[in-house]
Amino acid sequence: MNQTTQNLPATDKNLEAMRQFAEQYAKRTGTYFCADLGVTAVVIEGLAKHKEDLGSPLCPCRHYEDKAAEAKAAYWNCPCVPMRERKECHCMLFLTPDNDFAGDQQQITFEQIRATTNPA
């Protein structure tokens, strides 16, 4: 990972791509974003940054010894295997309706994400 880009926000292009993916995936799977959309915003930003830095939307909510190797292995690339197989999202991005933290939203705006992750 390039040290000069490590702490910069995700590009608009990647952030918008991950936002659209998250909305479409939530609708397709019948899952919902966290009741606290700040959680949703931070996770989408993390996915977008990993897409930029690693070439894959590696789960931003886990610790990895070697992020590049994990991204290449694809197990934790969003949607990760536990999400695809059992609807278990460690990041709380995609929550089943019976989850205590699930909200009622399957949409979030680009502006909501930026306001949370990159306040002026």
Residues annotated as catalytic are 61
Task: Please give the DSSP secondary-structure letter assigned to residue 90.
Answer: T
Which residues does residue 102 pair with via DSSP β-bridges, in sequence order? 34
The type of residue at 76 is: W
Phi-psi region of 51 (alpha: psi -120 to 50; beta: other; left: phi over 0): alpha
φ and ψ at 43, to 5 degrees? Answer: -65, -45
Rg (CA), the chain: 14
Helix (H) or strand (E) holding 91: none
